[in-house]
Amino acid sequence: MHDRTHHSKRNRPYRQVLRVSLPLVISMSSTMIMEFTDRVFLANYSLNAIAAALPAGIAAFLFISIFLGTAQYLNVFVAQYVGSGQSQRVGAALWQGNYFALVSAAAMVGLSFLAEPLFALGGHPVEVQVLEAMYFKVLCLGSGIYIFGTALSCFFSGRGQTRLVMIITMIGTLFNIPLDYALINGIWIFPEWGIFGAAFATVMSWLLVTLIFAFLVFTKRNDRDFRILSHRAFEANLFGRLMRYGIPSAIQFSLDIFAFTFFIFMVGRIGKLELAATNVVLSINSLAFMPLMGFSLGTSTLVGQALGRNRIQEAIAAARATIHIVLIYIALLFILFLAFPGPLLELFRPQDISSDYFGAIRQSGTILLRFVSAYIFFDALYMVCIGVLKGAGDTRFIMWSIGILSLVVMILPLIIGVHIFGAGLYYAWSCVTGFVFCLFVTSYWRYRQDRWKHVRVIEQATEIPMH
């Protein structure tokens, strides 16, 4: 009997991690599927539409991610408040997130006016520029809804109720895919809006998800347990704290995206074939990477709750269990990438290219998948480590380290190697591999230090403002 109890105690962290993280993994994957189908529909609609959607989508997401990352950090506040037994403070934290979403929406509306001059810089053909500006504008104007929905979702994910988040995200995806198809192509009663239709369908699914979250969050029961309706006051101290910890976390996320966007831009300068092979391999990589983001967010929740309760050993056990689970997942991917590169690359074969040309892409792509196999272990461990550090509130370190590394290990070597010395594709990919390895080393070193164990984003019970 004693053995069994001991065994179940030992397995508890693993069960917890899977219970909290798996639904988040599925949520992330369903968002990816939404983006992927969007691209497939546009690629089949017109060449100009897909050529415009990729850069405009990346540019919009780069700006949105700064605000999104800050709103998402509410997750840690909710986790630490619940863990420390201060559930009555959850409502106040959530409202600061709502106020931030309003500020974000206004900033994104302002950014939408920059669409034309921004894409003029890209130097793409005029007809593509028009479509880029249109796609970017619609996403910017609707992004406030997305940020608001993300803030509301933290009410559930911070408490570990991630299954509900998963179901609502999947409803959004299932609503988006047919609407997307109908509005791009003009099916049934819908107008044929092409790229505008794709962006509009995305915003409509954001709206649906946000409305469902709002309906489930703002209830009398949640007001009783978490003061969701009654703690609407703007609290400068709490808002400031969300900014202090959330903005560095968001900048880290944006810098990560920027470094990879810059890398794609530099590969584009090497040659068309090299760019095509890189885009195909990065599409495979991003599908593999999405679950890691789910595990990272799940780790932040569990670590935040454990530190709220002041149980440091529990936080370490959650981190350790996540590492073990993630390594099994990566080992399977490693085998898949090395053993079956051909069928994987075939999945992402563009419609409008000859088999000879794709043969050359496949040849390069097979070698590039070996690069991915080399760095994916480090990427996975890096994601878990930053999940732990974010869950504690050690976000400033993450921001500075990724800022310095993306400049020193990725951006400058690419400029010097590719632009000045004319280095080729494999050199550029070596820079990525080195960058990911350095991210892992610095985040693991920080994890092994004791500092994160004593950081808290929430105030102590004595500091709480009286209402």
Query: What distances in angstroms separate CA 356 from CA 39, 273, 277, 349, 361, one per listed residue?
Result: 24, 12, 14, 12, 9
pLDDT at 51: 77
pTM of the model: 0.88
CA angle 255, 257, 260 (to 5 degrees): 105
pLDDT at 50: 78
Q: Are 452 and 389 in contact (CB under 8 A)?
A: yes
pLDDT at 55: 80
- Residue ranges in 73-193 assigned as alpha helix (H): 74-83, 90-112, 115-122, 126-157, 162-185
CB atoms closer than 10 angstroms to residue 466: 3
The position carrying tokens 């800022």 is 403
pLDDT at 226: 93
**Closest by alpha carbon to 157, among 20, 63, 34?**
20
- What is the tally of helices (H) and strands (E) in the chain? 17, 0
Query: What distances in angstroms separate CA 233 from CA 237, 291, 364, one per listed residue?
Result: 12, 36, 57
Give every residue of the chain whose pLDDT is below 70, as ranges: 1-10, 350-352, 460-467
pLDDT at 351: 62
Q: What is the dihedral of CA 62, 68, 70, 73, to 10 degrees?
A: -130
State the first-to-last Cα distance of the chain, in angstroms, to the nearest integer.
50
Who's near 33: CB < 8 A, 6+ residues apart? Answer: 173, 177
pLDDT at 466: 43
Q: Which two tokens stand for residue 228?
A: 């969701």
d(CA 229, CA 94): 10
Q: Are 162 and 24 in contact (CB under 8 A)?
A: yes
